[in-house]
């Protein structure tokens, strides 16, 4: 009986510790400001619109790039780095079909190309406005393609 209680206590402590670390990591990511909730679908084939492949994350502006972090990860480094000069916006659309279930309710989808890789970002309308403004605010002489 004592062993069962001890094991149960250890499991509860480990679960709480894991949740605490998730929260702490998100706070550290958001500490510098300029963050927004952003789902990502990487290396998407042309004209594919399904609910598969979306990963929920947090994006952070850092100079001339956006750092994208998975929410459900312990990694301290971003999973993807998107450089402003390499982002080409292809289209903007609302979620279609199964995507409505896979994404947050107020999300809009932005299809882009980054260094030859097609990707899609899903974010709120406010975050999308900020992202497009950030893209257009490139320093003089940099090529930015916003559709």
pLDDT greater than 80 at residue 50: no
pLDDT greater than 60 at residue 143: no
Q: In percent, how much of the chain has pLDDT > 90?
A: 48
pLDDT the model gives residue 141: 63
Q: In percent, how much of the chain has pLDDT > 70?
A: 90
pLDDT digits (tens, 9 = 90+) for 85-104: 999 999 999 998 888 888 98
Angstrom CA distances, 127 to 108, 124, 130, stand at 9, 5, 5
The total number of residues written for the chain in this structure: 147
Rounded average pLDDT over 61-78: 87
Cα separation, 36 vs 105, in Å, equals 15
pLDDT greater than 80 at residue 76: no
């Amino acid at each position: 009986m004592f062993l069962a209680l001890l094991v149960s206590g250890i499991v509860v402590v480990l679960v709480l510790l894991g949740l605490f670390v998730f929260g702490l990591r998100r706070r550290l990511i958001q500490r510098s400001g300029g963050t927004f909730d952003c789902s990502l679908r990487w290396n998407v084939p042309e004209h594919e619109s399904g609910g598969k492949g979306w990963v929920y994350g947090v994006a952070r502006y850092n100079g001339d790039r956006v750092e994208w972090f998975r929410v459900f990860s312990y990694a301290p480094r971003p999973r993807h780095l998107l450089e402003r000069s390499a982002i080409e916006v292809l289209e903007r659309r609302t979620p279609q079909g199964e995507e409505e279930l896979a994404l947050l309710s107020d999300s809009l989808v932005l299809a882009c190309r980054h260094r030859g890789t097609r990707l899609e970002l899903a974010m709120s309308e406010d975050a999308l406005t900020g992202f497009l403004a950030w893209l257009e605010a490139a320093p003089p002489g940099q090529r930015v393609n916003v559709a």
